[in-house]
Every structure is written in C-alpha cells, then in structure tokens.
Homo-oligomer: A and B are copies of this chain.
Amino acid sequence: MPGKALRVGMVGYAFMGVAHSQGWRNARSFHNPLIEPELAVVCGRDTAKAGELARRFGWGEVVGDWRELVAREDIDLIDICTPGDTHAEIAIAALDAGKHVLCEKPLANTVAEAEAMAEAAERALSRGVYATVGFTYRRVPAIALAAKWLWEGRVGCVRHVRAQYLQDWLTDADAPLSWRLRKEKAGSGALGDIGAHIIDLVQHLTGESVTGVSAMTETFVRQRPLASGDGFGEVTVDDAAVFLGRLSGGALATFEATRFATGRKNAIRLEINGTEGGLAFDFEDMNVLWWHDATAEPAEAGYRRIVVTEPEHPYLAGWWPPGHGLGYEHAFTHQALDLLDAIAQARQPAPSFTEGLGVQRVLDAVQVSAADESRWTPIPGSRVGAS
C-alpha cells in the first residue's frame, strides 16, 4: 500500500470528465500503482453539474474556476478534460505552477498553441514536472500488445498501414448544428476529433513518423438546422478527411476519418503489413488482435484471432479471468496507471506534448494539402528514416 497519494484536480465534467473519473478510481481499485491517486477537486464553471459528478464518483471538492485550482498548493496534477480551445492556456499555467498535466487530445487547436505547450512542457520537465496528452486508445490492451510486438520486430519492416476511424452520426442531413461543427470552437471536424487518434496510433505503433501527406477533406452537408430550431447555420469544419502518408521507414499509409461511414459507430481499424508478418485490429471487436506470422509454413499460415484477455497480456493481470473482456472505459484506467507509475518513478510519461505536437503538425499538413489540390505536403521536423 503506497504512502502519500497524488492529488488530482480535474477540469471538466462532461463525457471526458466521466471517463477520467472512472480511470482514476479504477486504477486504484484494480491495480497497484506506485503512487495512488486521490480524486481531490473537480472544477467546472457550472458547479452544480460538477458537483453532481463529484457526488457520483467521490471527488472531494468542487471549484468553479480553473485558475483557482491551478493556484492551490495541495494539488499535484491537473487533468484537462475541456474542449480544445482552452487546452493551451490551462496546461501552460498548470505546468508553470509546477503541476503535472494530463491533457485531453488533440493537444490544441493550432500548431502555434501546441508549440507553446510543448515548450512549457520542456521547461517543466527540467523541474521534474511532467506533461502528457490523452491518446487513450494506445492503452486498449490489443493495441498495446500490437505495439509491443511491432517494437520487438515481429512484423519486420513495415510496408503498408491502413488506418480508419469511422463514425456515422452526421449521415442524417437533419442532424443539428452543434459547436463541434464550427471551426472557431472545434478547430476542425472529423480530422482533429478522430483523425488525431489514428495519426497518433500509427506513429506510436510503428515507432515511425508520417513524413508527408496528400489529402482531401469534404463537408458533405454545408448547412444544418440550428439547435434552436430557428433556421439554418453554416458547417465550417470537415465532415471527413482522407489522406495518403509516407512513413519515415518508407511504408505507404492510407488514413480516413469520417462521420459519414453509415453503419459504423466507432470503428477504429488498423492494419499493418510488414516483411515478417501482419497485424489487424478493429475497435468494434476491441478485445481481439489479429496476427499473421509470415515465417510460418505456407500451409499453416493465417491471421490468428488472439483474444487479448490473458494475464500475460498488457494491463490484464489486474482485471478478470481469461475470456472476460474489457470495454471502452478501461483504457482510461490504464492511462491513469501508466501516468501514476511514471510520476512515481520520475520519468517522462508517454505520449509527451512533443508527440502531441507531432500529431498536430500532421493535422495541419492535411489541411494545407487539402486546400491546395492534394499537393504533397511534408511534415516539418518529422524524422525521415531509410527505406
């Protein structure tokens, strides 16, 4: 049983606030982090709603202003669960105040903001203060297993990547105009919201960078009814983005992020082919990893359906017996667990803000290319390896 706990202050109480609350709580209930989290303070402008979350998940206190939270001496980590346009200001203030930071993805709405955040994280790092960005899908056990195997070289040199994040909630042309469909709030549409995840996953899994892209984006329905019911408003973000990418090791990658993939609700699909094998994943069957070992005899080769629920699999030892699958929210517990251990051991948690900035640069290049006839657009600062 650890001694002093890590006191968490969380900003935000909506979808991500709930997921993070469950993550912190279960890290302690099911696992043995080197330092235990304490759900100290939840912060939200609507203190009634924040209070309701506190009551349901056992947060100790509620405050209304994030500046107040950041100023407190008794908080060790700020967990940022607000929309993207607020990330930079809160994160930089928190890091400068000596708080560790977990910031939801995408890191920011612009490259400039993300750069400032990465700089703040560098400054903080020198003082033993850590920043990380919440690309939570890395912690789905099947994906963590895929990463481990890719890094061990099991698929050899990567030749092809297919990455898709498919949703369909905008297929209906009568779906109302929400803040997510306005550029000033959301930065971009499907691209930043879900495309960011698959860019991060591809770079994380392969250990390579996307060195350039050729892209198209589209807004299929350009006017939508206002939520007020009073007329129509303009959609100012993308409904879908498709792009080609080159990885630093020479592989060809295709990416697709869309809210118009009729019948697909949250299908994150990853498929990687290398010289020694292949891996495939679909979040619609999230406890399964498919692995092809190309070194097997031809008559015996085939994609193997691995049910990732064995105690030998990443994160599984803390949960249930084999065959008792996990769900969406468990990745938030794994994120909390990894972060707590990194802080306890005084090492940089992954992914760093610099990695988050790297994703942001790909998102930016996609928009540049899409606006310029799909012209090939290199990613500044990306590592270019040998083919």
**A: which residues have CB within 8 A of B?**
1, 15, 18-19, 21-22, 28-30, 55-58, 145, 155, 159-160, 162, 164, 167-169, 171, 173, 214-216, 218, 220, 240, 242-244, 246, 250, 252, 254, 256, 258, 260-267, 273-278, 283-287, 291-292, 294, 297-307, 309-313, 320-330, 373-376, 387
Contacts and interface: CB of A to CB of B under 8 A. Distances in A.
Given A15-B321, A242-B244, A242-B252, 7 more contacts: A160-B258, A262-B273, A262-B277, A263-B292, A265-B321, A266-B309, A302-B307
Contacts of A276: 262
Contacts of A298: 310-312
Nearest to A19: B320
Contacts of A300: 291, 304, 306
Nearest to A52: B1
Kindly name the residue among A15, A169, A256, A303 whose own CB sees the greatest number of chain B CB atoms within 10 A.
A303
A222 to B, nearest CB: 9
B321 A250 contact: no
B273 A168 contact: yes
5 contacts: A162-B164, A169-B322, A262-B275, A264-B273, A300-B304
Assembly of this chain: how many copies?
Answer: 4
B242 A254 contact: yes
A147 to B, nearest CB: 14
B263 A302 contact: yes
Contacts of A254: 242, 254, 256
Kindly name the residue among A30, A214, A218, A263 whose own CB sees the greatest number of chain B CB atoms within 10 A.
A263
Contact of A155 (B246, B262, B305): B262
Contact of A244 (B22, B244, B246): B244
Closest 9 pairs (CB-CB, A-B): A266-B323, A265-B323, A263-B292, A327-B327, A214-B374, A302-B306, A324-B328, A373-B376, A299-B312
Nearest to A268: B323
B322 A266 contact: yes
B262 A278 contact: yes
Given A322-B265, A327-B326, A240 B374 contact: no
A262 B292 contact: yes
Given A29-B57, A375-B374, A240 B160 contact: yes
Contacts of A324: 266, 327-329
A252 B240 contact: yes
Nearest to A21: B29
B328 A328 contact: no
Contacts of A258: 159-160, 252, 273
Given A216-B246, A321-B15, A302 B299 contact: no
Contacts of A29: 21-22, 56-57
Nearest to A269: B162
B278 A263 contact: yes
A63 B329 CA distance: 32
Contacts of A313: 299
Given A162-B164, A262-B292, A328 B320 contact: yes
A309 B311 CA distance: 27
Contact of A291 (B173, B220, B302): B302
A167 B261 CA distance: 25
B327 A307 contact: no
Contact of A159 (B220, B244, B301): B220
A275 B292 CA distance: 24
A294 to B, nearest CB: 5
